[in-house]
Amino acid sequence: MVTSTHEVSHRIFAKHPEALAPVYEALGVPPPTKSDIREITPDATEIRPLERRVDTVLKVEPPEGEHYLLAIEAQTKRDPDKATNWAYYVAYLRATYDLPVLLVAVCRDRPTADWAVGPFECGVGPWTTQVTRPFVLGPRTVSEITDQSTAAQSPGLAVLSAIVHSDSRRCRAILDTVADGWRSFDKDTQAYWFETMEIALANTPAKAKWRELQMPVGSYYPGQGTLIEEKYLEGKAEGQAKGEAEDRATLILRVLEKHAVDVPEDIRERITSCTDLDTLMLWFDRSLTATTAEDLFAENEDGQAEGNQNQTSA
């Protein structure tokens, strides 16, 4: 099942290859540049009613050296079926693209990471036919982000570090460092990375800690209910209501002007400062027959000023 953590992992590794730095450092392989990488379909389904999808599949094509595939899986818990699925992914991709495959598992807790290392063997008796050994990005292989400049220079790696250390007692310190490093970004870039981090930390206690550090701006993950999205939608709704109120106030004044009704400054201020749409509609209806500006605020049959029920006056 595709989760928000899987979605973020896909975006990070597809768009920000610096997040894979721990893999290449451990293997002693030159890291690819962004231009060396292109996405290919993660669909590993054969023509039969069985669907299998790798979280992310990247084709790495460095200008020098061999080309290969990266198959990346976000793994949040032990899964007995993964030994079979991972072996299938590697075999399928190797057969389909005729390229070597590096399987990478991203794990955010030590027990899952220790299990995911494998090896997962397929054999009969003493004979092993196939062995699957994922490279695990987890608490033991990904360093904690303790420097603001690193967080700013490699935001994808910073997100990965926060994911795999989300259960660490030093998680808050990592998040503080990352947040401080990202505050140097422009508004749009900061919004993107702050929201990416919140999605990445889904279903972890660290998510609540991160929300405390966020700066409300706009949404890059619509429908996920992030703090940024909530604030953005609240602001948008408020802006729409304010704009509609201003339009109604302008229309009321326009009608009074057309009817040659004098509008004193205090009443003009009362109309333009009102934010209640129902009150403004009532005033508009009355403006159509008003002979004085005061007619807008006529009392109802019970002697209560209708215009004062909901309006906000200056």
> Containing domain of residue 205, as a range?
148-214
> What is the pLDDT, as a whole number, of residue 256?
87
Are residues 84 and 198 both part of a single domain?
A: no
Are residues 70 and 89 both part of a single domain?
A: yes
Q: Is residue 220 part of a domain?
A: no
Are residues 59 and 160 both part of a single domain?
A: no
pTM of the model: 0.61
Instruction: Compute the mean pLDDT over every residue in the chain, rounded to the nearest whole number.
Output: 81
Please report the DSSP string for 34-92 in residue order: GGGEEE---B---SSS---B-SEEEEE--SSS--EEEEEEEE-S--TTHHHHHHHHHHH
> Residue 20's closest CA among 162, 194, 154?
154
Provide the residue count of the chain: 314
Q: List the Cα angle 79/164/39 in 5-degree steps.
A: 75
Q: Is residue 291 part of a domain?
A: yes
Judged by average pLDDT, the poorest of 122-126, 132-136, 269-273, 309-313 is: 309-313
Q: Considering 114, 142, 170, which residue would you say is the last residue of a domain?
A: 142
Determine contact, residues 194/214, Cβ cutoff 8 Å.
yes
- Rounded-to-integer distance, Cα 104 and Cα 116, Å: 10
Q: Considering 142, 176, 201, which residue would you say is the last residue of a domain?
A: 142
Are residues 44 and 77 both part of a single domain?
A: yes
Are residues 239 and 284 both part of a single domain?
A: yes
Does residue 148 carry a pLDDT above 60? yes
Q: Is residue 265 part of a domain?
A: yes
Q: Which helix (H) or strand (E) holds 175?
A: helix 171-182
Are residues 104 and 161 both part of a single domain?
A: no
> What is the pLDDT, as a whole number, of residue 237?
62
Does residue 139 carry a pLDDT above 80? yes
198 contact partners, CB below 8 Å, separation of at least 6 = 207, 210, 211, 214, 226, 227, 228
Does residue 217 carry a pLDDT above 80? no
Q: Is residue 103 part of a domain?
A: yes
Mean pLDDT of 224-230: 62
Rg (CA), the chain: 30
Are residues 72 and 106 both part of a single domain?
A: yes
How many structural domains does the chain have?
3
Judged by average pLDDT, the poorest of 40-44, 158-162, 292-296 is: 40-44
Are residues 123 and 16 both part of a single domain?
A: yes
Are residues 205 and 264 both part of a single domain?
A: no
Does residue 49 carry a pLDDT above 80? no
Q: Considering 120, 142, 164, which residue would you say is the last residue of a domain?
A: 142
Residue 239's pLDDT band, with cuts at 50, 70 and 90, is low
Q: Is residue 219 part of a domain?
A: no
Q: Is residue 221 part of a domain?
A: no
- Rounded-to-integer distance, Cα 313 and Cα 306, Å: 13
Q: Is residue 256 part of a domain?
A: yes
- Rounded-to-integer distance, Cα 194 and Cα 192, Å: 6
Are residues 55 and 100 both part of a single domain?
A: yes
> What is the pLDDT, as a whole number, of residue 305?
43
Query: Which amino acid belongs to residue 266?
Result: D
Are residues 244 and 183 both part of a single domain?
A: no
Q: Is residue 11 part of a domain?
A: yes
Query: Which amino acid belongs to residue 205?
Result: P
Residue 138's pLDDT band, with cuts at 50, 70 and 90, is very high
Are residues 37 and 81 both part of a single domain?
A: yes
